[in-house]
Amino acid sequence: MYIADETWPELGDYLEDESIALVPLGSTEQHGPHLPLATDHIIAEAYAREAAERTGYLCTPTINIGVSPHHRQFHGTMWVDAPTFRNYVESFTRNLAYHGIDRVIYVNAHGGNVEHLREVGRHLRDEEVLYAIEWMWNDSIPDLVDDLFDQNGPHGGPKETAMIQHLRPELVREDRLEDARDGGLKSIDEAETTKFGARTFYDAADNTDNGVLGDQTDATAEKGEQMFEEATAQLVKLCEWLDSQDFQDLMPKKHV
Amino acid sequence: MYIADETWPELGDYLEDESIALVPLGSTEQHGPHLPLATDHIIAEAYAREAAERTGYLCTPTINIGVSPHHRQFHGTMWVDAPTFRNYVESFTRNLAYHGIDRVIYVNAHGGNVEHLREVGRHLRDEEVLYAIEWMWNDSIPDLVDDLFDQNGPHGGPKETAMIQHLRPELVREDRLEDARDGGLKSIDEAETTKFGARTFYDAADNTDNGVLGDQTDATAEKGEQMFEEATAQLVKLCEWLDSQDFQDLMPKKHV
Amino acid sequence: MYIADETWPELGDYLEDESIALVPLGSTEQHGPHLPLATDHIIAEAYAREAAERTGYLCTPTINIGVSPHHRQFHGTMWVDAPTFRNYVESFTRNLAYHGIDRVIYVNAHGGNVEHLREVGRHLRDEEVLYAIEWMWNDSIPDLVDDLFDQNGPHGGPKETAMIQHLRPELVREDRLEDARDGGLKSIDEAETTKFGARTFYDAADNTDNGVLGDQTDATAEKGEQMFEEATAQLVKLCEWLDSQDFQDLMPKKHV
Amino acid sequence: MYIADETWPELGDYLEDESIALVPLGSTEQHGPHLPLATDHIIAEAYAREAAERTGYLCTPTINIGVSPHHRQFHGTMWVDAPTFRNYVESFTRNLAYHGIDRVIYVNAHGGNVEHLREVGRHLRDEEVLYAIEWMWNDSIPDLVDDLFDQNGPHGGPKETAMIQHLRPELVREDRLEDARDGGLKSIDEAETTKFGARTFYDAADNTDNGVLGDQTDATAEKGEQMFEEATAQLVKLCEWLDSQDFQDLMPKKHV
Amino acid sequence: MYIADETWPELGDYLEDESIALVPLGSTEQHGPHLPLATDHIIAEAYAREAAERTGYLCTPTINIGVSPHHRQFHGTMWVDAPTFRNYVESFTRNLAYHGIDRVIYVNAHGGNVEHLREVGRHLRDEEVLYAIEWMWNDSIPDLVDDLFDQNGPHGGPKETAMIQHLRPELVREDRLEDARDGGLKSIDEAETTKFGARTFYDAADNTDNGVLGDQTDATAEKGEQMFEEATAQLVKLCEWLDSQDFQDLMPKKHV
Amino acid sequence: MYIADETWPELGDYLEDESIALVPLGSTEQHGPHLPLATDHIIAEAYAREAAERTGYLCTPTINIGVSPHHRQFHGTMWVDAPTFRNYVESFTRNLAYHGIDRVIYVNAHGGNVEHLREVGRHLRDEEVLYAIEWMWNDSIPDLVDDLFDQNGPHGGPKETAMIQHLRPELVREDRLEDARDGGLKSIDEAETTKFGARTFYDAADNTDNGVLGDQTDATAEKGEQMFEEATAQLVKLCEWLDSQDFQDLMPKKHV
């Protein structure tokens, strides 16, 4: 059920029975010469809507702009500062609780949002407002992702390329896949991202000239579809697990 | 040009020549028994994208959640607190300036956002970061709106109904238009919204039982299309005017 | 009853019976070559004190500095930033509730404060701290204001001039009324304040060379007195209405 | 020169030559059964206006509400929270600099404001915005104050009583001076305000039943006038000293 | 008992019986050519640990960095901005209450922290979270300090020198005591720290070339030991007094 | 060089030549029945001081309290809220730049601080204030840590036990090592920390009854010493690398 397509009386029926919401979050940021800036929010929205459709749980509109200052050197990257992002997400999530929502899944497709969503989730749980957790599609199918690609790259690599080939093929610049690979950092192992145990880089531009990593040339829409099916199945299971929990078990344990 | 569909090198070409961005903003809030919660953000997005397509100027993704605490008593209404909304909008707008954007139109379709967008625009202009202004479709065609409907109602009325009939007809519950009228406040004049000069109400629920105002029964898709065409034409002219201005003329005047 | 002239035991007697407070708010900002910077706070204070005297309700000291960045280009205009103003008003209002005040009228005479006072009032009501509303004298007598003057101008015009001629005649530079008119913007209709539906100006200096609008030459103390009497009567009625309400009826309605 | 009585062109003349502003700050808080809540802001305003009149320097409107949570148990005490007070004062002071004001004297008559004004002054000086200092009338004439009264009491005592007897005699409840003394804490030495070196009290109510300290019965208007004359003379000298300084000498010293 | 040396089950035993915590706070700031930057936090820690050992009450780790912008012109001075310091202290103090701590002594050895600790203590008490007070060693033995030294100086003088000679003699540059005196401000009376009642200086560098005041040459370890013994005895008594109080008596009085 | 033991003139000599500072950060939080709450800050301090001694670079005092809400259910755990921690660290780091420090290593020994230190480091670098990075000892010697222990556990396991056995043996409760293992979670693999790709736990208490993980029984002081030597060597190399960099190379790259 997509909240924005419904009327308030219809939502009243849902909220009488259910208290779960799926919130898709992504970014609008550079993804190399071959993928659109929308990459992350397209992926997040696709997973959240599909899982909502299969389960009947509620899905909210997508948060399209996230914490992406590390991509700012590339044209068009949009971002909000980290404290602002946290406050924004916390505010609308907290307000969802006014309607009876008491468990939220942040269906996230941007690595730069992860820690911030966890911080928000912790804060809302510490205050016993509701229980919110972050879920990222590739974390749910790590072995499959590893099997499918030679160099899957954490940003703009074949993993994300295949997802967009499956979801929005018209947005992939297929003729630039080789350029993407050759102009970027093919293997993360080649990058000197740490020195003596310290992570020394802050920006994507510190490691890659065109903004992406990995070898995009072995991405296909079929691989994208396979990942989408398997990760969606994981998300559906997560929804079901969450629904089956007693609310008090999701809240913080008492002091020893 | 829709920023999220582009790649960063393509955006580099745009930003070399142009410095305008259109930002659609709406809400996800109750619009009565006949219209979806998406109403405002659907409308905002449609105008911004259409004007961007016609002019070639840049359009960003849509901000779907706005300042709607006054609709919170109705199921599903999402909102962020006003200071959080301002900070969020200011943060991503300010960051757009990093890429050379120096004039922004907030294509807004939710009355509750207006003052907050103006406050953000003022702040960014006072600091000479960039020039941002708020535009709302119905403010650009007031006479037409008045002519088309008997009781256009400021929220969920025939004006907005017609827009969704035109833009997303499948989302209008046509069989509830009479209910919408009869269960709401047909005429704003019937409401006691002020007492001796003071606005005494804060929430939609203070004035209307089903969340809407106006007489929805004379809304048609044709009227929606007519408004869309005329207001889009206004927005296009606004873009052209903005582009033609010298940046210094858009900045604050000096101290007398 | 003026709170600042009383001792705490005397106020204890008041608070045992009553729970209303009138709070005057204005600005210290340019009002053209003929009116003092005090204009708005003189007017606000006069109304609040007079209504308090006639009704016996409590009046607090005046907030003399408001949100006036749009007049900053003219010498001497004082202002606080909008978030700071809101926090300040919210803080002292919230603290009034500690003594049992549960309904507040912001007797405001500066247009730039309106939205901020409403935001504060909403926040305090949403949290069920107390009920606070904004009242502005000219909003309570719109027809009279229109009848009295040819071009009443929203800022520094004959409307405000007449008020100061009545309340503090020694502060009006009578010999500069024609200069005021001729050096400013006589008719608001002459100004290009909007473009294709968007309000494009932010500062008074964008529209008027000497900071004022309207035709000040038909202002008289008599007209000022007439407005003062009629608007005070409105304010008194507002107090009585407010006092007659049940507190729970002033608080937000429950979720449908 | 009182800023609020002037027009902007007149202030332009002042600001061409001078850059000093006097800002009176007080409180609206209980001062026992004999003095009005206005006590502190009446005193502050009187000194600032008088010094401005004698010297020609600029005086702003009075800040009537200060940091008084320690008097909140007594009816009618108004206060803003400390961070809000600091932000409010810093905001309008910073904005004065926009007009060329570069040195400010906070003419303060409320002990609870002192540290906050110094914190604001430090912050503005550290950032080299302007130079602002706090002045309190009784700190400028400590010996005289000691000589005039047997038990001058830091709050609501004869010192403040005499000031109001001089400035606003109609506001002193002369028939309650003995009550004030007998119902309060006559001598600060009798209070156990510290324990083994630690200040253990936070509120006035912790030490005094009626909110005041000292012996009010030897207060007279003549003593008030004498103090007013001598402290005003000190303030005038402070203005002259401040005016004579080179701005760079008022700014922070460089790193050694 | 030092909290950081204990394990959580051992602390559970303490918290079952007791609810007091001692929190040492100092600074890391210049103390002239003869004393280390650690001076204040060494002293604070020594008192808090000693009193905790003698009484069995809990002592927390030391806050080593305080509010010291007024010493920033001298190499190495560390500081946090005042609002940040207050928030930090308030946050960990508030969280101590989660374990049942309901009374806290801030064992402070840096004058620049005093007002901020009191503001935090007030805030926590106003909200009835717990009772926290500030204690500074020299305020508990003012007569002894006066007797022991000719010119004790408020910063880096013989008072603090003697304390470090006693506590950490290896850190005192004994061969620079005369330099310290001669290069600084021997007597505070020689400084022009106020003008006509206003404190005109903000930084140590405004008054002293080498950062210190007083005559360090009559400092000895023996005097340090004597002060340490006597002030520790005071702190122990404060702990015992605090423990003997009923919690409700430590909380704010009710409204009159 | 330890900043707190030095005098300001001595630090002036250092700062003339060098611009590196090492800042140790830990926590004061439960580490099971066998280790003191100080564990993390002892370890951080030991590494930072040792590296500073070997290289001559500056080390600051230790930040003893960090972001540990996830351990709050266990007696005595101290913590500050995440935004407060970030602001505190950012404030003193930013102020270090005033003295010429332009590169900082956060020598961190608490996992809960990592993301917050990176956020601060990013913010300071984005603003080009200075370059600050986070270093954690075990991240610099991952293979050695894996080799030495069977189940090293991320919190309170043999890795940390061995470090305290080496650094502060008197603080290890050697007779409770088996209890620690048996009462906690021996192997992280046994914990259900994620569900279908989402991390579902927020608190240590969600996974472990006594607050720790791993098998503490194969910890020895010798292993602690070995780790200390090898990780210190890494930290020394990091210092040298950092010193050898050109400052501009450490700053953000320009927009493409």
Q: How many CB atoms lie within 10 A of CB C24?
A: 27
**b or e along A213-241 (b: 16 or more beta carbons within 10 Å of the residue's beta carbon)?**
bbbbbbbebebbebbbeebbebbbbbbee
Q: Cα separation of D62 and D42, whole Å?
A: 9
Residue D219 in contact with partner chain E when CB distance is under 8 A: no
- From the list D69, D73, D75, the residue facing E253 with the nearest CB is D73
- The answer to whether residues E23 and E60 touch, using CB atoms and an 8 Å cutoff, is yes
Is C12 close to E255, i.e. CB distance below 8 A? no
**Dihedral, B176, B181, B182, B185 alpha carbons, nearest 10:** 140
Is A12 close to C255, i.e. CB distance below 8 A? no
pLDDT at position B46: 98
- The answer to whether residues A42 and A65 touch, using CB atoms and an 8 Å cutoff, is no
Is F7 close to E15, i.e. CB distance below 8 A? no
Residue of B nearest to D8 (CA): B256
> What's the gap in Å between the CA of C127 and the closest CA on chain A?
13
Q: Cα separation of E108 and E45, whole Å?
A: 9
In this predicted model, what pLDDT tens digit does every residue of F13-67 receive, in sequence order?
Answer: 999 999 999 999 999 999 999 999 999 999 999 999 999 999 999 999 999 999 9
- The answer to whether residues E221 and E228 touch, using CB atoms and an 8 Å cutoff, is no
Is F252 close to A73, i.e. CB distance below 8 A? yes
Binning pLDDT at 50, 70 and 90, where does residue F154 land? confident
In this predicted model, what pLDDT tens digit does every residue of C89-135 receive, in sequence order?
Answer: 999 999 999 999 999 999 999 999 999 999 999 999 999 999 999 99
> What's the gap in Å between the CA of B63 and the closest CA on chain F?
25
D contact residues 20-49, partner E, Cβ 8 Å cutoff: none
Domain B3-250 has CATH 3.40.50.300: no
Residue of C nearest to D79 (CA): C92
What residues of A are in contact with residue F205 (Cβ under 8 Å)? 252-253, 256
Comparing CA positions, the residue from F21, F24, F16 lying closest to residue F1 is F21
Each of the 256 residues of chain E gets a pLDDT tens digit; together they read 999 999 999 999 999 999 999 999 999 999 999 999 999 999 999 999 999 999 999 999 999 999 999 999 999 999 999 999 999 999 999 999 999 999 999 999 999 999 999 999 999 999 999 999 999 999 999 999 999 999 988 899 999 999 999 999 999 999 999 999 999 999 877 778 899 999 999 999 999 999 999 999 999 999 999 999 999 999 999 999 999 999 999 999 999 9
Phi/psi at F143 (nearest 5 deg)? -70, -45
**3-state SS, residue C194:** strand
Tokens of F129: 């204030």
Looking at the predicted structure, is the pLDDT value of residue D187 above 90?
no
In this predicted model, what pLDDT tens digit does every residue of D96-143 receive, in sequence order?
Answer: 999 999 999 999 999 999 999 999 999 999 999 999 999 999 999 999
- The answer to whether residues F58 and F12 touch, using CB atoms and an 8 Å cutoff, is no
Q: Chain-wide mean pLDDT for chain F?
A: 97
Q: Cα separation of F66 and B121, whole Å?
A: 38
Binning pLDDT at 50, 70 and 90, where does residue A233 land? very high
Q: E172 to each of A20, E37, E160, E161, E178, how far by Cα in Å?
A: 64, 11, 11, 7, 13
What residues of B are in contact with residue A6 (Cβ under 8 Å)? 36-37, 76
What residues of A are in contact with residue C255 (Cβ under 8 Å)? 98-99
Q: Going by C-beta distance under 8 Å and a sequence separation of 6 or more, which residues neighbour residue A125?
A: A131, A132, A250, A251, A252, F202
D contact residues 227-256, partner F, Cβ 8 Å cutoff: 255-256
pLDDT at position D70: 98
- The answer to whether residues E24 and E59 touch, using CB atoms and an 8 Å cutoff, is yes
With an 8 Å CB cutoff and a minimum of 3 pairs, decide whether chains A and D touch: no
> What's the gap in Å between the CA of F66 and the closest CA on chain E?
9
pLDDT at position C145: 97
Binning pLDDT at 50, 70 and 90, where does residue D189 land? confident
pLDDT at position D190: 79
Comparing CA positions, the residue from F52, F55, F81 lying closest to residue F66 is F81
Is C91 close to D75, i.e. CB distance below 8 A? no
Q: How many CB atoms lie within 10 A of CB B21?
A: 29
Binning pLDDT at 50, 70 and 90, where does residue A141 land? very high
> What's the gap in Å between the CA of F246 and the closest CA on chain E?
23
Residue C52 in contact with partner chain D when CB distance is under 8 A: no
pLDDT at position A190: 79
Q: Cα separation of E106 and E122, whole Å?
A: 13
What residues of D are in contact with residue E82 (Cβ under 8 Å)? 119
In this predicted model, what pLDDT tens digit does every residue of B151-160 receive, in sequence order?
Answer: 988 899 999 9
The label of the residue with tokens 């961070």 reads: D83
Binning pLDDT at 50, 70 and 90, where does residue F188 land? confident
Q: Which chains reach chain E with 3 or more Cβ–Cβ distances below 8 angstroms? A: A, C, D, F
Phi/psi at E35 (nearest 5 deg)? -120, 150
B contact residues 84-103, partner A, Cβ 8 Å cutoff: 84-85, 87-88, 91-92, 95-96, 98-99
Residue A79 in contact with partner chain B when CB distance is under 8 A: yes
Comparing CA positions, the residue from F114, F152, F106, F108 lying closest to residue F130 is F106
What sign has the CA pseudo-torsion C109, C112, C113, C117?
A: positive
Q: Cα separation of A40 and A27, whole Å?
A: 5
In this predicted model, what pLDDT tens digit does every residue of A57-76 receive, in sequence order?
Answer: 999 999 999 999 999 999 99
> What's the gap in Å between the CA of B179 and the closest CA on chain F?
44
Q: Going by C-beta distance under 8 Å and a sequence separation of 6 or more, which residues neighbour residue B80?
A: A88, A91, A92, A95, B65, B66, B67, B88
What residues of E are in contact with residue A256 (Cβ under 8 Å)? 8, 12
Side chain identity, residue E175? D
The label of the residue with tokens 């519950």 reads: B173
> What's the gap in Å between the CA of E255 and the closest CA on chain C?
8
What residues of A are in contact with residue C256 (Cβ under 8 Å)? 8, 12
* Percentage of the residues of chain B whose pLDDT score is greater than 90: 95
Is D99 close to B256, i.e. CB distance below 8 A? no
C contact residues 53-72, partner D, Cβ 8 Å cutoff: 60-65, 69, 72
Is B256 close to D98, i.e. CB distance below 8 A? no
Complex-level ipTM: 0.96
What residues of E are in contact with residue A123 (Cβ under 8 Å)? none
- From the list A141, A196, A235, the residue facing F235 with the nearest CB is A196
In this predicted model, what pLDDT tens digit does every residue of C164-195 receive, in sequence order?
Answer: 999 999 999 999 999 999 999 998 777 788 99
With an 8 Å CB cutoff and a minimum of 3 pairs, decide whether chains F and A touch: yes
pLDDT at position F190: 79
What residues of F are in contact with residue B12 (Cβ under 8 Å)? 256
Long-range Cβ contacts of E12-19 (<8 Å, 24+ apart):
E12/A256, E12/F75, E12/F76, E14/E58, E15/E99, E15/E100, E15/E101, E15/F75, E15/F76, E18/E56, E18/E57, E18/E58, E18/E243, E19/E100, E19/E101, E19/E102, E19/E103
Residue of D nearest to F100 (CA): D255
Q: Going by C-beta distance under 8 Å and a sequence separation of 6 or more, which residues neighbour residue A142?
A: none
* DSSP string for residues in D141-165: SHHHHHHH-SS--SSSSHHHHHHHH
Q: Cα separation of C9 and A74, whole Å?
A: 67
What residues of C are in contact with residue E256 (Cβ under 8 Å)? 8, 12
Q: Going by C-beta distance under 8 Å and a sequence separation of 6 or more, which residues neighbour residue C137?
A: B197, C43, C47, C107, C109, C227, C231, C234, C235
pLDDT at position A121: 98
In this predicted model, what pLDDT tens digit does every residue of B92-147 receive, in sequence order?
Answer: 999 999 999 999 999 999 999 999 999 999 999 999 999 999 999 999 999 999 99
Q: What residue ranges of chain B have pLDDT lower than 50? A: none
The distance in angstroms from the start CA to the end CA of chain B is 41
Rg (CA), chain B: 19
The label of the residue with tokens 């004001």 reads: D101
What residues of C are in contact with residue E127 (Cβ under 8 Å)? none
> What's the gap in Å between the CA of A98 and the closest CA on chain C?
9
Is C255 close to A99, i.e. CB distance below 8 A? yes
Side chain identity, residue A158? P
Task: Write a three-state SS string for C71-83.
Answer: HCCCCCCCCCCHH
Task: Write a three-state SS string for F111-171.
Answer: HHHHHHHHHHHHHHHHCCCCEEEEEEHHHHCHHHHHHHCCCCCCCCCHHHHHHHHHHCHHH
Residue of B nearest to C254 (CA): B73
Phi/psi at D199 (nearest 5 deg)? -75, 120
Binning pLDDT at 50, 70 and 90, where does residue D188 land? confident
Q: E113 to each of D121, E50, E83, E200, F23, how far by Cα in Å?
A: 17, 21, 11, 20, 22
Binning pLDDT at 50, 70 and 90, where does residue F187 land? confident
Is A255 close to E12, i.e. CB distance below 8 A? no
Q: Which chains reach chain A with 3 or more Cβ–Cβ distances below 8 angstroms? A: B, C, E, F
What residues of D are in contact with residue B255 (Cβ under 8 Å)? 98-99
What secondary structure letter does DSSP report for D197?
T
What secondary structure letter does DSSP report for F254?
P
Q: Cα separation of E38 and A145, whole Å?
A: 54
- The answer to whether residues A66 and A26 touch, using CB atoms and an 8 Å cutoff, is yes
Phi/psi at D122 (nearest 5 deg)? -60, -45
Residue of B nearest to D99 (CA): B255
In this predicted model, what pLDDT tens digit does every residue of D34-59 receive, in sequence order?
Answer: 999 999 999 999 999 999 999 999 99
CA atoms within 13 A of residue C117's CA, in its CB half-sphere? 27
Phi/psi at D42 (nearest 5 deg)? -60, -45
In this predicted model, what pLDDT tens digit does every residue of D130-186 receive, in sequence order?
Answer: 999 999 999 999 999 999 999 988 899 999 999 999 999 999 999 999 999 999 999
Is A95 close to B80, i.e. CB distance below 8 A? yes
What residues of F are in contact with residue D255 (Cβ under 8 Å)? 98-99
D contact residues 161-200, partner E, Cβ 8 Å cutoff: 194-200
Residue of F nearest to B8 (CA): F256
pLDDT at position A192: 81
Q: E206 to each of E34, E74, E193, E201, how far by Cα in Å?
A: 20, 12, 9, 6
What residues of C are in contact with residue D98 (Cβ under 8 Å)? 72
- The answer to whether residues A89 and A25 touch, using CB atoms and an 8 Å cutoff, is yes
**3-state SS, residue A77:** coil
SS3 content of chain C, % helix, strand, coil (to 5): 55, 10, 35
In this predicted model, what pLDDT tens digit does every residue of C5-27 receive, in sequence order?
Answer: 999 999 999 999 999 999 999 99
**3-state SS, residue E151:** coil
What residues of B are in contact with residue C255 (Cβ under 8 Å)? 72-73, 75
Looking at the predicted structure, is the pLDDT value of residue F192 above 90?
no
Q: Cα separation of D142 and C120, whole Å?
A: 42
Q: Rounded mean pLDDT of D202-231?
A: 97
Is A255 close to E98, i.e. CB distance below 8 A? yes
Is D99 close to B255, i.e. CB distance below 8 A? yes
